[in-house]
Amino acid sequence: MIKVGLVGYGTIGKRVADAVAMQKDMKLIGVTAHSYSFNTEVAKQKGYRIFAVGETDLKSNGIKPDGDINNMLEEADIIVDATPKDIGRDNIERLYRPKKIKAIVQGGEKHKTTSTSFVAQCNYNEALNKDYARIVSCNTTGLCRTLDAVNKRYGITSVHATMIRRGADPWDIYHGPINAIVPVLEMPSHHGPDVQTVLHNVEIFTTALSVPSTLMHLHTLTVDLKKKANMNDVVELFKNSTRIRVVRNAEHLRSTAEIMEFARDMGRLRGDMPEICVWEEAIGVISNTHNKLLYMQAVHQESDVVPENIDCIRAMTGFKDGEKSIQMTNKSFGIK
């Protein structure tokens, strides 16, 4: 059993904790609480052990912690750190490296923090036996999954992609916009260079903007190919690639809102959709040359990185068979 500790029990952390608890080869040592909230109450109800970070208001709210974060570190083989941007980097230097404990950080951290950036179906082996790795952001994970499939089948000359990003997560009352479309005023946006930390040889240029929605990101991509493609083959390619779901107008899955409703109706935990959803009708190949591919995809920001954390735990603790790990993880999530 791989003993996993979870630091940063928020949007990503609580999902990773549940996913770890579902794996037959993993044991969740516990989760941290930085301050009391409904998240802590739910963790307690689930029977997770709770370890305090610093001075907390847990006791005054009726929760007796099972120890502090150092107690959790002593028991764990590996930590998944899902704290906000920059805290994961500081935790590596302050907590994990001095105690020689392996750790995974998330996409808010920079590539140089761990020098290994991870998307299971693209570069599982790069994380094998590593002490530190980073799961790339939700957007980068989405781009890497579909572009890796396209690159392996046709070869990519270059990519231009635009990310239409949700303004905030559904629970988040602090971020927006609520009545504007906000372009990212940097060229390229950081997503392109981030993709190259996983797909090292793919030429990609990205732009991004935020919109008043909490339900998924939407990407539009134009990909110049080395080999000619036809639309039916591309549809089959995506259907046969792991963690990608082809969705259709005929199913009335015409928007991010309907995809999220579909995930809830399927009974997915928290109504999550960890697969990247590509719209069949929005796949196009420019017909005079057949080597320019266009498609659109939706990315559920709260969940697509969660299976990646599970596979990265296995890779870093020495499980060599990446395909098998992906299969085991997919099965536990109900992903085909």
Report the residue number, 14 or 245, with the smaller CB distance to ligand NAD.
Answer: 14
Pick the closer one to ligand NAD by CB: 172 or 321.
Answer: 172
**Number of residues that make up the chain:** 336
Pick out residues in 40-99 that bind ligand NAD (CB under 6 A): 53, 82-85, 87
Binding mask 12-41 for ligand NAD (x = CB under 6 A): xx------------------x-xx------
Stretch that binds ligand NAD, among 144-152, 228-236, 276-284, 298-306 (CB under 6 A): 298-306
Question: Active-site positions?
Answer: 138
Query: Are the beta carbons of 4 and 313 closer than 8 angstroms?
Result: yes
Q: How many residues bind ligand NAD (CB under 6 A)?
A: 25
> Minimum distance between the CB of residue 78 and ligand NAD, rounded to whole angstroms?
16
Which residue's structure tokens are 């029990």? 9
61 CB-near residues (< 8 Å, 6+ apart) = 36, 40
Please say which residue, 307 or 319, places its beta carbon nearer to ligand NAD. 307
User: Between 11-22 and 38-45, two packed helices, what is the crossing angle to 10 degrees?
Assistant: 10
Q: Which residue is nearest to ligand NAD (CB)?
A: 10
Token readout for 54 is 């610093």
**Structure token pair of residue 202:** 């793919």
Among 2, 6, 9, 89, indicate the residue that binds ligand NAD (CB under 6 A): 9
Interior/surface letters 155-183, b for 16+ CB within 10 angstroms, e for the rest: ebeebbbbbbbbbbeeeeeeeeeeeeeee
How far, in Å, CA of 287 to CA of 292, rounded? 8
Report the alpha-carbon distance of residue 332 to residue 61 in Å, rounded: 34
Is the distance from CB of 4 to CB of 23 less than 8 angstroms?
no
We find the least distance from the C-beta atom of residue 192 to ligand NAD, in angstroms, to be 17
Site for ligand NAD in 104-133 (CB under 6 A): 106-108
Nearest distance in Å: CB 40, ligand NAD: 9
- Looking at the Cβ atoms of 170 and 334, the one nearer to ligand NAD is 170
Binding status of residue 137 toward ligand NAD by CB under 6 A: yes
Nearer to ligand NAD, 34 or 145 (CB): 34
Dist. CA 85–CA 295, nearest whole Å: 30
CB 200 within 8 A of CB 194: no
- State which residue, 106 or 241, has the beta carbon closest to ligand NAD: 106
Give the pair of three-digit tokens for residue 107.
């996409």
What gap in Å lies between CA 88 and CA 86, rounded to an integer? 5
Instruction: Out of 198, 305, 326, 335, point to the residue binding ligand NAD (CB under 6 A).
Output: 305
The answer to the question of residue 191 lying near ligand NAD (CB under 6 A) is no
Footprint of ligand NAD (CB under 6 A): 7-13, 32, 34-35, 53, 82-85, 87, 106-108, 137-138, 169, 301-302, 305
